[in-house]
Amino acid sequence: MSQTTQTTQAETAEPITIRLSNGKTLNFASNISQEADEIPIIDVSGIYSDKFEDRQAVAEKIREASHRIGFFYVINHGIDPKHAEVVFEQAKRFFSLPVEKKMEVYTGLVPNEFVGYHPMEHYSRTAAKQKDLSEAFNWAYSAAEDPEAIDKDEPGISIWPSDLDGFREGLYGYHTPLLQFARKLTQIFALALHLPENAFDEYTKKPEAGMRILHYPPQEHSVDDQNGIGAHTDFECFTIVTQDDSAGLEVLSKSGTWIKANPVPGSFVVNIADCFMRQTNDFFVSTVHRVVNKSGRERYSAPFFWGFDRKMLLEPVPTCVSETNPAKYPVMTAGEYYKFRANKAKDDEL
């Protein structure tokens, strides 16, 4: 969900340079992606075990993946796939609406927030010749839909289309179980960082828990000229992605190679985002990724973006700093960082 600029690839050995709005600059040799076995598939059923050693075993696998590549698949997560099916049906309903109807909930109507409709070919996350070939609808955390909310009467920030019965209900029908899963997964991340299991519990009572549905038409331009979504990093703690059965998600490895993150039936893709990278002093890797839809079909996905309470300070995790490895980032609240990055992402409208 963040902004990048990219130098175009020449027919030479010159590398492509990506400048991310999180301050990082990366180089890679080619836009061509490869099949590779670098993204692990982790069975997370053990996170529900009463035995600490079972939860710790999953945490150690997540620790390795989060440090090495920042991406992993999770299977046996316990969420009924029917919720995803409903969300994809609602996505098809919404994106088939006339443009003027979708623009009634244009994200530009909500300053400093990322909710609402993000139009097709409206953004340029890289310096490619063509703007990103995708459209999206974002919605935010709602206390009314959170079984563990502190104040269920707290107003939400989302905006909703009129005359689309069942749309909001269908989306929150999936958002709520993902919210509960993310809270559990946060405890496992605490174990992965060799902290007490409840170390982040105060951070997630009122979380940053946005979600989006995305539509990617089949892409005709080359990957040099256009992406579905250009290379970027996410800006919360971690993202839980539900893919349909059309490939397109790609991850930039530490070696500078684009790796295909093809759909794995029944799985989610989890990726580390920038807030966790900052808090872990770069021990966790917020990895650059993109979408290139060359499947020849319409592609839909539903990422869930999980972050901490906006009032909480993003202080460095104590197990990730030392005298020889001091903190690399200034301390700010999660809300300050979110506002900064949300506005940066909207500046992609070039």
Between 123 and 177, whose confidence is greater? 177
* 12 — pLDDT class (breaks 50, 70, 90): very low
Q: What is the pLDDT of residue 347?
A: 63
Give 12 or 87, the one with higher predicted confidence.
87
pLDDT at 17 over 80: no
Which pLDDT score is estimated for 11? 41
What length is written for the chain? Answer: 350
When pLDDT is cut at 50, 70 and 90, the band that residue 21 belongs to is low
- Average pLDDT over the chain reads 90
Highest mean pLDDT among 16-20, 37-41, 52-56, 114-118: 52-56
Residues 202 and 80: their CA atoms lie apart, in Å, by: 28
Using CB atoms within 10 Å of the CB of residue 234, give its burial: 0 to 12 exposed, 13 to 18 middle, 19+ buried: buried
Give this prediction's pTM: 0.92
Find the mean pLDDT for residues 68-86. Answer: 97
The domain locations on the chain are 4-346
pLDDT at residue 350 above 60?
no
Provide, rounded to the nearest whole percent, the portion of the chain with pLDDT above 90: 73
Q: Report pLDDT digits (tens) over 310-326.
A: 999 999 999 999 999 99
CB 154 within 8 A of CB 94: no
The reported pLDDT for the residue numbered 87 is 98
CA 113 vs CA 29, 141, 173, 336: distances in Å: 35, 12, 22, 12
| Residue 322 exposed, middle or buried by CB count within 10 Å (0-12, 13-18, 19+) | exposed
Rounded Cα distance, 247 and 243, in Å: 8
Mean predicted confidence (pLDDT) in 2-8 = 44
Query: What's 102-161 look like in SS3?
Result: HHHHEHHHCCCCCCEEECCCCCCCCCCCCCCCCEEEEECCCHHHCCCCCCCCCCCCCCCC
- For 147-175, the pLDDT digits (tens) are 999 899 898 999 999 999 999 999 999 99
Strand partners, 303: 241
Residue in 337, 336, 322 with CA at minimum distance from that of residue 277: 337
Looking at residues 240-261, what average pLDDT do you find? 93
Average pLDDT over residues 35-63: 97
Tell me what the mean pLDDT of segment 70-76 comes to. 98
pLDDT of residue 127: 66
pLDDT at 2 over 50: no
Dump pLDDT digits (tens) for 264-322.
Answer: 999 999 999 999 999 999 999 999 999 999 999 999 999 999 999 999 999 999 999 99
Provide the pLDDT for residue 348: 53
> pLDDT tens, 199-224?
999 999 999 999 999 999 999 998 88
The percent of residues in the chain predicted with pLDDT above 70, rounded, is: 92
Q: Which pLDDT does position 254 carry in this prediction?
A: 83
Mean pLDDT across 221-232? 88
CATH 2.60.120.330, domain 4-346, yes or no: yes
Lowest average pLDDT, out of 14-28, 212-226, 328-342, goes to 14-28
